[in-house]
Amino acid sequence: MKKLFTLIAILFTGYMASASCTASYTTSISGLNVTFTNTSTPPVHTGAMHALANWNFGDGGYSSSWNTSHTYAATGSYTITLYVEWVDSATSTYVCDDTLTSSVSVTSPTGISGTIIRDSALGPVYWDSLMVWLITYDTATHIITAVDSQRLVAPGSGHTPYSFTGVTPGSYLVKAAGSFGGTGSGFVPTYHYSSLSWSTAGYVSVTSGAMSTSEDIYMQYGTLTSGPGFIAGNVLYGAGKTTYAVGDPVIGLTIYLVNNTTGKLIAATVTDATGKYSFNVPYGTYTIYPEHAGLLTTAWTNVTVSATAPTMNAVSFKENSKTIVPHTSAVPQVTKQTNISMYPNPAHNVLTIECADAANQASYINITDVAGRKILTTSFNTAKTNVNISGLQPGLYFVNILSRNTTYNQKLTIQ
């Protein structure tokens, strides 16, 4: 078989001649790609030498580079043959050679990949950043869990690739949320393929040793508007929640506003630390849809604001164990502060909570930012507890404390 060789100059002087040399190499494997590093040992020789290398990758592929890489078409075990030869550079005479035969195994990565796409005619051409979540859904318990996530910083364009590897075979949801430079962006969190709701999103099936590719996410967009109309309400916990009591506020829940005439998304917001949300909109008729992954939602439909009735401020919901439903008589739970104290405020590294109700009874602390995003959640069962907040950035936050008989909401400044 004809051998292909590449010349690599290796200078060795001042040694006695010897015909002993050894072929060797190391590998670095990433999926189907293998990088080969030639670590062959040259002979002792009195003059300058050059070395020749020839690789046989075991799948019909060859290379004559000293160091090389090769991508296999399929998983499996392949027999690698490396032949090395040293030649005297002055006389072009043979010095020595050696052959090493061994095997290498490659496997396809298991995972999901695709592209996050937005319409450049609708929004900015530049992503400041993107968050992408890999999500599982338990059909028995209706529990949604983000098992992996990644932040893509300054990815540059409206067609941004993402990839999750090392994924356990199963069925997944994929969700993306972006932010942009400037103002006026109306892109909102969107599931694959192009859904605002987890319940209508497309599931991605992952099998062992394969990448599920082209699982694209087309970002939903709505023109963020303002106007004389006002729609507001709150979302409170109902029956069946083991962590929260009936009437506790649902914090950080995404609320969508859809124009009934066009069927298009108009805006999105989140509930605050008291479970409230609001929209300023032009006069018209709208649908209000809360989105909580894993829960089936019944939307408020035909919510109309007009010049004669410009305000609808009781468009409220109740979140139960498996559903979110309109709640016409929802009244926010009154905060009781008689037996709860929180200090210091402003705080720096540690926040102290005193709550008599918490003694030997599970209670919960939720800290959210001004946008309603839940930043920290912890539980405690003592009358006094310290919360480590050293990882939070300076700024304004909301603290929600839920105990056996009391709900406490308070602003917190972190310095």
Task: Specify whether 148 is located in the same domain as 247.
Answer: no
Q: Is the confidence at residue 18, as pLDDT, over 60? A: no
> Is the CB of residue 162 less than 8 Å from the CB of residue 140?
no
The answer to whether residue 273 sits within a structural domain is yes
Angle at alpha carbon of residue 288, lines to 366 and 242, rounded to 5°: 35
Question: Mean pLDDT over residues 15-19, rounded?
Answer: 44
Coil, strand, or helix at residue 356?
helix
Task: Specify whether 316 is located in the same domain as 356.
Answer: no
Look at 24 and 220; give whichever has higher pLDDT: 24
The answer to whether residue 196 sits within a structural domain is yes
Question: Mean pLDDT over residues 319-334, rounded?
Answer: 68
Q: pLDDT class for 187, splitting at 50, 70, 90?
A: confident
Q: Which domain holds residue 125?
A: 111-218
Task: Specify whether 248 is located in the same domain as 270.
Answer: yes
The answer to whether residue 334 sits within a structural domain is no
Q: pLDDT class for 80, splitting at 50, 70, 90?
A: very high
The CATH number of the domain holding residue 309 is 2.60.40.10
Residue 77's pLDDT is 93
Residue 94's pLDDT is 93
Of 326, 354, 389, which residue constitutes the final position of a domain?
A: 326
Tens-place pLDDT, residues 88-97: 999 999 999 9
Look at 89 and 125; give whichever has higher pLDDT: 89
Q: Is the confidence at residue 15, as pLDDT, over 50? A: no
4: closest CA among 49, 91, 68?
68
Tens-place pLDDT, residues 280-315: 788 888 989 998 877 888 888 888 888 777 778 788
Number of structural domains the chain divides into: 4
Strands 211-212 and 190-191 turn out to be: unpaired
Coil, strand, or helix at residue 8?
strand
Tens-place pLDDT, residues 134-179: 988 776 655 667 788 888 876 666 788 999 988 999 999 898 877 6
Residue 177's pLDDT is 79
The answer to whether residue 15 sits within a structural domain is yes
Lookup: tokens for 78:
């392949």
Residue 183's pLDDT is 37
Q: pLDDT class for 47, splitting at 50, 70, 90?
A: confident
Highest mean pLDDT pick, 76-85, 234-243, 346-355? 76-85
Q: Is the confidence at residue 73, as pLDDT, over 70? A: yes
pTM for this structure? 0.45
The answer to whether residue 295 sits within a structural domain is yes
Q: Is the confidence at residue 369, as pLDDT, over 70? A: no
Tens-place pLDDT, residues 255-266: 988 888 887 787
The answer to whether residue 390 sits within a structural domain is yes
Task: Specify whether 235 is located in the same domain as 322.
Answer: yes
Residue 64's pLDDT is 95
Give exposure, 258-292, as e/b (b: 16+ Cβ within 10 Å).
bbeeeeebbbbbbbbbbbbbbbebeebebbbbbbb
The answer to whether residue 223 sits within a structural domain is no
The CATH number of the domain holding residue 401 is 2.60.40.3080
The answer to whether residue 261 sits within a structural domain is yes
Look at 340 and 337; give whichever has higher pLDDT: 340
